[in-house]
Amino acid sequence: MVAAVVMFVLLGVVAGILAGLLGVGGGLVLVAALAWLLPTVGVPVEAAMHAALASSLASIVLTAAASARAHARRGSVLWSTVKWMVPGLVLGGWLGSGVAVRIDGDVLRGLVAAYCLIAAAQLLFSRPRDAGSASPVPQGPAISAAGVGIGAVSAVVGIGGGSMTVPLLVWRGVAPVRAVGTSSACGVAIGLSSALGYALHAPAGALPDHALGYVYLPAAIAVAAASVFAAPYGTRLAHRLSGPTLKRVFAGFLVCVAIALWMGS
């Protein structure tokens, strides 16, 4: 168990640095790595994908909260938008996790792999948009409805939703830095509702000891703690390296993750 916890901590460091470096992709890497690692600590192979998704989402709660706190200090969280999105995100996360626990693990692998390719394409082809200082604050039923879809997809692929929330807010005219900060706050709601769904929707005895439903606690706690401490280093590194080059490299890495997931199914 000690060796496994060390692996979870190292995985959290990698995920935290990636999150700080690029803002997206950390959750996808977590899911792929956990799906391979969890069977080595006694998690049944047939439940490994569900446990990887659930544990990734549980760890995202603390990581997203730390990120949102840092952004809030700089005034980069649009709290009115968060308030409108949270009900939809919570509902979507709960529904998405309820559907995911009924899907075969190999099918889930395929879905996560497909989303890796989507995220890779987004990194390769998205272009930054300039925004003025008078950034709008999206509110209303439409933004709540969008939250349902974002929460549901995030629950199925085990992410905090940043790769969907940020583009949506930027499309609505929000400055990119505020979109990222607002997305971090939204990630807390997604992680909480989705992880709770995986815990409560799981069949009895789905995992061995040290688990709540499909949430494998040693992995979730170790990854979360390490990623919180590692994320600021990724942020510092992002200011020193070429953003376009990093995005191209990580897009290629996500394609490799997708191939590995498909080959492992």
Distance of CA 206 to the CA centre of its chain: 23
User: Taking 70 as the threshold, does the pLDDT of residue 134 lie above it?
Assistant: no
Q: What is the pLDDT of residues 150-173, one digit of tens each?
A: 999 999 999 888 888 988 998 888
pLDDT tens per residue, range 94-127 = 999 999 999 999 999 999 999 989 888 887 887 6
Side chain identity, residue 184? S
Residue type (1 letter), 33? A
pTM given for the model:
0.87
Q: What is the rounded CA–CA span in Å between residue 28 and residue 122?
A: 14
Could you give the count of Cα atoms lying within 13 Å of 86 in the half-sphere of its Cβ? Answer: 12
HSE-CB at 12 with a 13 A cutoff on CA atoms is 26
Pairwise pLDDT comparison (164 vs 4), residue with the higher score: 164
Long-range contacts of 105-111 (CB under 8 A, 24+ apart): 105/46, 105/47, 105/48, 105/49, 105/50, 106/49, 106/265, 108/49, 108/50, 108/53, 108/156, 109/35, 109/49, 109/261, 109/262, 109/264, 109/265, 110/261, 110/262, 110/265, 111/156, 111/157
Residue 100: exposure state from Cβ atoms within 10 A (0-12, 13-18, ≥19)? buried
- Residue 264's pLDDT is what? 66
* CA 177 – CA 189 distance, rounded (Å): 20
pLDDT digits (tens, 9 = 90+) for 215-261: 999 999 999 999 888 877 776 665 566 557 767 777 787 888 888 88
**39 CB contacts (<8 Å, ≥6 apart)?**
45, 48
- Is the pLDDT score of 132 beyond 60? no
Domain ranges of the chain: 2-264
Q: Where are the beta strands (DSSP E) in the chain?
A: 211-212, 215-216
Among residues 150, 153, 198, 152, which one has the least CA distance to residue 52? 198
Only one residue has tokens 């890779």, namely 120
Residue 142: pLDDT over 90: yes
